[in-house]
Structure 1
Amino acid sequence: MDFVTEFERVLVNSFNAYIEEKGIRAISYRLKQHRFTSQFLDVLVDSLDPDLYMGIECKSISVDKGATALYFSQHFTVDKKGIHQIDRISDYLNRSGRRGFLAVELRLGAGHGREAYMVPWEDLEKSYNSESPKLTLQEIRNFPEIRRDGKDYIINPKEWGRKSRWEKDIKPKPAENSGETDD
């Protein structure tokens, strides 16, 4: 079993333990990748609770082996039609209305454990579309950490950012004339 698959499995188990503990009607599961077909996301959470209706792409990098960043060209795929994985996932999230995240596991080497961070998909998209070739370790560590409890992760979706894809960055403008008249 590779590192990413193990990360996905632990994340799903942690989500389902959280769901059961909180008594929420929801389920988390891994999408199995079939040979020669592109998979949209690694982990899905289905729930009527908008904080939990999400799709998560998982990446795992070896900091102990010299990785200093998550590269958009190296760590993501391009399909037969030339469409980058970030674009495919963005389209899926947009159509489905799910909150999207990139979960990044940093493997720190024997005796140092692992760290994991939850990158909101819209932040990943901004970085990808800015022509930056990567997310550095420091940039990744600036996002909310998925804290550990032994081998499991502590799930706290509200901590990971609330804004959904369909919510706009529009703030109501204060009225120029707040009830005052020139009479």
Structure 2
Amino acid sequence: MTEFERVLVNSFNSYIEEKGIRAISYRLKQHRFTAQFLDVLVDSLDPDLYLGIECKSISVDKGATALYFSQHFTVDKKGVHQIDRISDYLNKSGRRGFLAVELRLGMGHGREAYMVPWEELEKNYHTESLKLTVQEIRNFPEIKRDGKDYIINPKEWGSKNHWEKDS
């Protein structure tokens, strides 16, 4: 588990406890030969908190200018891209999906994190865009920090489930 994933899970669980919500955030253990659908899951009867989150981290201080669909995502043995696999899982499970992107800014500059609604990521990928630039990522809702933790506010992230589009 990366530091970003661990802090995100802990931040969700602190939010859940503070609000007295019946929910839990966790990361499934990743096994060597088993595909992991998402990095962070949140289970709740509240649809705003029934989430699936994929986490990516890029080092802006080391020159990264974008999150590339070919470099930062995997393709499985059957040739299925990670975005398609996750989209299928989200659609079948009914979870709200997000890509949480951490921008590492270098020593003394901290980190920024943003929540990209999954349908926006999927739309970019299927329009054959090759990447999301750092500036495009910064246009999505920021997951603000409070010390080492993140401030969780799912309602600010403004994403609807796939099944809500057609209703």
> Once superposed, what is the RMSD of the aligned Cα atoms?
1.0
- Counterpart pick for 1:33 among 21, 27, 30: 30
Displacement, 1:31?
Answer: 1.6
Structure 1 distance, partners of 2:141, 2:70, is 24
Task: Report the residue type matching 1:107 in the other structure.
Answer: R
Aligned residue for 2:16?
19
1:1-183 pair list within 5 angstroms: 5-168=2-165
| CA distance in structure 2 between the partners assigned to 1:83 and 1:162 by the alignment | 25
| Aligned length in residues | 167
- Asked if the contact 2:115/2:140 (under 8 Å) is kept, the reply is yes
Aligned twin of 1:180: none
**C-alpha separation between the residues in 2 aligned to 1:165 and 1:37?**
26
Q: Is the 8 A contact 2:40 2:54 kept in 1?
A: yes
* Contact 2:57 2:104 (C-alpha < 8 Å) held by counterparts: yes
Look up the SS of the partner of 1:104 in the other structure: strand
Q: SS at the partner of 2:122?
A: helix
Q: Is the 8 A contact 2:28 2:40 kept in 1?
A: yes
Pairwise CA distance, 1:164: 1.5
Rounded to whole Å, the distance in 2 between the matches of 1:135 and 1:31 is 27
SS at match of 2:61: coil
Give the Cα–Cα distance (whole angstroms) in 2 for the partners of residues 32 and 7 of structure 1.
Answer: 15
SS of the residue 2:17 aligns to = helix
Q: CA deviation at 1:130?
A: 0.6
User: Counterpart of 2:165 in 1: which secondary structure?
Assistant: coil
- 1:169 deviation in Å? 6.0
Give TM-score, length-normalised by structure 2: 0.98
Q: What percentage of residue pairs aligned between the two structures are identical?
A: 89
Q: Letter of the aligned partner of 2:127 in structure 1? A: S
Q: 1:7 is aligned with what amino acid? A: F
Q: Which runs of 5+ in 2 are unaligned?
A: none
Higher helix share: 2
Describe the shift of the 1:76–1:162 C-alpha distance in structure 2 as closer, same or farther (beyond 3 A). Answer: closer
